[in-house]
Structure 1
Amino acid sequence: MKVLKWFLIIIGALLVLGFAGFKVMQHQTKKASPEGTVAYANGDLKIDVFHNRPYKKGRVIFGGLVPYDEVWRTGANEATTFTTNQDLSIGGKLLPAGKYTLWTVPHADSWQVFFNKRMYNWGVNMDGVASRDPAEDAVEVTVPVEVLPEVVEQFTISVEDAEVPTLVLAWDRTKVSVPLR
């Protein structure tokens, strides 16, 4: 009976320490890449984007920290989510109303942007590889890169009112725009 009691106490203590350690690690990570939320509304259309916003901090971003030609979780920490309350046409492809994870493959002159149906707890697996499952992609579109005259220090996602609402991703001197029709 004493052995069982001590066994349960040790297991309970390990669980509490593990949970506390996870929360501390999560808090420390979020300080370097704080959460950001975009809330866009125009008439009946509502779009929400949740992402984590890392800083440049003097680093080479695209082609360096974020390699070219590899899937990127499009931010830091958790996978970025994109929610729309209405069907959208993106690159001539239908994106039904719903919640998606947003993934990108940056190239020097263009980016592939993926709206994925699956929700992921974290943006990468334990080995650091993006956790996106391509079979779950709802829409994929390729958009050109715009080179900015000024550095954007912190990764930024916005939805801008242009001719049509446009999802904009900007960091360092790179900007990509995805029209949302």
Structure 2
Amino acid sequence: MKNLLLSLFVVAISFSTTAQKKIPASPSQKVEQTVGLSTITVEYSRPGVKDRTIFGDLVPFGKVWRTGANQNTKITFSSDVTVADVTLKAGTYAIYTIPNKESWDVIFYTDATNWGNPKEWDEAKVAVKVSAEVYPVPDTIETFTILFDDLKNTSAVLGFLWESTYVGVQINVTN
């Protein structure tokens, strides 16, 4: 009798655990890149196109976007870096963007604890804001992707890729 009850208990627990698991609509990703002696880590959620028009519609032009889905995208630098000739101290920043048709403003924000966009935008928390050119991509990129490309000993380009758009921002390390 004890074995039967134990077996039923195990089956009930495994069923309830399985029933509670849900595949997220925008799965999370963590990307880490070593540049020189520095490590850069990005944590973000990856929404999909899902037969929608993204830029200029789902993500309106000219408005602050959390640059991904769910909680805000975070970037962590293990040592000081420069972006657009501005030094960012080692630490964690939120990445926000303002997409436009021809260019994006990419914003490194000192408060990385928000869920999505801050309730009240604080310009004093903008560590650096850089304009980056939009490049068309010939194929549709279904899932929002952040990557590192053009990797060199002292720099890398932080790239944003989604729908038919690529935007890149150079980050220089100060080893």
Q: Deviations over 1:15-64 (max 9, x none)?
A: xxxxxxxxx7xx76x71100011111133110000000000001000001
TM-score (norm 2): 0.80
Aligned residues: 151
Point out where structure 2 has 5 or more consecutive residues left out of the alignment.
1-19
Match of 1:52 among 28, 45, 50: 45
1:54-73 matches, cutoff 5 A: 54-73=47-66
How far apart are residue 131 of structure 1 and its match? 5.5
Aligned to 1:79: 72
Match of 1:155 among 144, 160, 164: 144
Give 3-state SS (helix, strand or coil) of 1:32's partner. coil
Flag the structure with more relative contact order, 1 or 2, with Cα contacts below 8 A and sequence separation at least 6.
Answer: 2
Q: Which has the higher helix share?
A: 1
**Is the CA contact (8 Å cut-off) linking 2:149 and 2:157 kept in structure 1?**
yes
Choose 60-69 or 111-120, whichever is displaced more. Answer: 111-120
Choose 42-51 or 104-113, whichever is displaced more. Answer: 42-51
RMSD: 1.8
In the alignment, residue 159 of structure 1 is paired with which amino acid?
F
1:101 maps onto 2:101 in alignment: no
Q: How has the CA–CA distance of structure 1 residues 69 and 165 changed in structure 2, closer, same or farther, with 3 Å as cutoff?
A: same
In the alignment, residue 123 of structure 2 is paired with which amino acid?
P
TM-score (norm 1): 0.78
**Is the CA contact (8 Å cut-off) linking 1:104 and 1:112 kept in structure 2?**
yes
1:142 maps onto 2:135 in alignment: no
Match of 1:38 among 31, 42, 55: 31
In the alignment, residue 171 of structure 1 is paired with which amino acid?
W
How far apart are residue 94 of structure 1 and its match? 1.3
Q: Deviations over 1:72-129 (max 9, x none)?
A: 000000000000012111111111111000000001000000101112331046xxxx
Percent pairwise identity: 38
